[in-house]
Structure 1
Amino acid sequence: MTNAVEAKDYILKQVDQAPKIGLILGSGLGVLAEDIENPIAIPYQDIPHFPVSTVSGHKGQLVIGTLEGQLVVAMQGRFHFYEGYQMEQVTFPIRVMKALGVEQIIVTNAAGGINESFKPGHLMLIEDHINNFGTNPLIGKNEEELGPRFPDMSEAYSKRLLQHAKQVADSLNIQVQQGVYVGNTGPSYETGSEVKMLRKWGGDAVGMSTVPEVIVANHAGLEVLGISCISNMAAGILDQPLTHEEVMETTEQVKEDFLRFMKEIIRTLPV
């Protein structure tokens, strides 16, 4: 907790007001932060105890400012377990957001489509997730001031915010899917047989992030909305190799709809 408070104190020295909405922007989706007005950008390496993002497509800075009339703090790039960080480090920004006074977070990611009715470029509202990391960010001593020892995950993703996002999509005539996100460690993509297994488990999309952050967000009492950009179809569905370049190309193609969708969600976000 001390580390999060030190990071929070450093951040508040740079800004006039504390944000209530947190944004975690995944691979290729950090472009949203470019539209924040009166932005204050703080490189991760300048924030006490913050890890540093090492993945292409992750700019590696915290951006605080106004977006559609709302004061937000945006992670332009996130941290992953496969980068060699501990779960505590991967989820540290959530603790800092909570310390700043954030009450709602929108978590985005690029994911592989498991559901064969999905297509690259689709946006999927996350209804629930499956933790396939083989570990949990809450393992270890629990600090009661941060959250309960055994947090409830029956509504890990807010039904209220999910309904709001669906209404926004309808109003903008943007087609969105809904489904279950499976979180794997990576960094290798899944095999075709693993994808078949994840589909039988009930997974609709698969990626290498989000789940640890959402677990900690729920532990901290934050309301969560999750959105995946289906950047490619998972292994075995199409007869082609998977690459990170394909992920980045797809997120670039869907950029216009993603920006419109996110901005309207944030503009009309229910408190």
Structure 2
Amino acid sequence: MSKAAKTIRKIAGSDPIEAAIVLGSGLSAIGDLIAEKIAIPFSELKGFPGGGVSGHGRDLLVGNLAGKRVAVLTGREHYYEHGNPAAMRPALKAMAELGASTLMLTNSAGSLDPAFAPGDLMLISDHINYAGMNPLIGEPTDRRFVNMVGCYDPDLRGKSRAVAERLGIKLGEGVYLWYSGPSFETVAEIQMAIRLGANAVGMSTAPEVILGRFLGLRVWACSSVTNMGAGLSNENISHEHTKIMAKQGAEKLARLIPALVEEL
């Protein structure tokens, strides 16, 4: 067991967690839903994110959500921070060691599709690794050859659609394109992404999905749409704008995620 996992068990107890939840830009308030929570700063956990992006939290929360024991990472480390696509591997490995069978990922994303307006949620059905980097580069075993068909768990997606319909939350599905960042995409790059079949674009998530499947976890991911892609509207795209608009999606995720966790 990793040092981080041992530290978490020492502080939060040895009861296994059922799911690990990673929160994206502007979505850290979802951690307020956790009951009987124990907060552990990332700085106390070896290999966990350094917390270098505004709008992201810097704590691991362990507690109860919808009757299930979960661990919530209130922030993540992105490839664009240090050029390491495997930056989240130690944290996700610790989650698996603590018993998690499901990995739930959220992010803020730009829409490439009129069907997804700012404030909407997009359930991710697949992704395009446009950044080209892979967190399993350097892995010495044959486990690195991960089958990515159905990497966004079909069963969890089906449950999400049913839950969203019951709660009256608009929830479409689409393909997410991972762009390395940190600069936003050009108008030409957005047009390219549309032609490749993507519905939304963002700077995270895909590496964690690959790592999650490598670790044997079921993976679910949902984007909070914060803006239209470059050239598709008159919005002034910025990180501050992303954080402000993410609050609309966070309100919907705060209803959707607990109901989905209850179904696990």
Give the TM-score category using the shorter length: over 0.9
Q: Could you tell me which of 83, 106, 121 is aligned with 2:81? A: 83
Q: Name the aligned partner's letter for residue 186 of structure 1.
A: G
CA contact (8 A) 2:86 2:134 kept: no
Q: Could you tell me which of 25, 33, 36 is aligned with 2:34? A: 36
Alignment of 1:122-161 (within 5 A): 122-143=120-141, 148-161=143-156
Say whether residues 1:182 and 2:177 are aligned partners. yes
Q: Could you tell me which of 92, 108, 111 is aligned with 1:110? A: 108
CA contact (8 A) 1:65 1:72 kept: yes
Q: Distance in 2 between matches of 1:14 and 1:52?
A: 20
CA contact (8 A) 1:91 1:212 kept: no
CA contact (8 A) 1:37 1:65 kept: yes
Structure 1 residue 94: deviation in Å?
1.2
Q: Could you tell me which of 241, 245, 263 is aligned with 2:240? A: 245
Structure 1 residue 96: deviation in Å?
1.4
Structure 1 residue 82: deviation in Å?
0.7
Q: Distance in 2 between matches of 1:85 and 1:30?
A: 24
Q: Distance in 2 between matches of 1:21 and 1:139?
A: 26
Structure 1 residue 91: deviation in Å?
2.9
Q: Distance in 2 between matches of 1:163 and 1:42?
A: 33
Structure 1 residue 50: deviation in Å?
2.3
Q: Distance in 1 between matches of 2:180 and 2:246?
A: 21
Q: Distance in 2 between matches of 1:93 and 1:210?
A: 14
Structure 1 residue 241: deviation in Å?
2.3
SS at match of 1:132: coil
Structure 1 residue 190: deviation in Å?
0.3
Structure 1 residue 254: deviation in Å?
3.2
CA contact (8 A) 1:61 1:75 kept: yes
Say whether residues 1:71 and 2:66 are aligned partners. no
Identity, in percent, stands at 37
SS at match of 1:64: strand
Structure 1 residue 34: deviation in Å?
1.1
Q: Which residue number corresponds to residue 209 of structure 2?
A: 214
Q: Distance in 2 between matches of 1:115 and 1:163?
A: 22
Q: Could you tell me which of 232, 247, 252 is aligned with 1:257? A: 252
Q: Could you tell me which of 3, 9, 19 is aligned with 1:6? A: 3
CA contact (8 A) 1:182 1:206 kept: yes
Q: Distance in 2 between matches of 1:228 and 1:79?
A: 17
TM-score of the aligned structures, taking structure 1 as reference length:
0.94
Q: Distance in 2 between matches of 1:86 and 1:149?
A: 17
TM-score of the aligned structures, taking structure 2 as reference length:
0.96
Say whether residues 1:201 and 2:199 are aligned partners. no
Unpaired runs of 5+ in structure 1?
A: none
Q: Distance in 2 between matches of 1:79 and 1:149?
A: 21
Say whether residues 1:165 and 2:163 are aligned partners. no
Paired positions, count: 263
SS at match of 1:125: strand
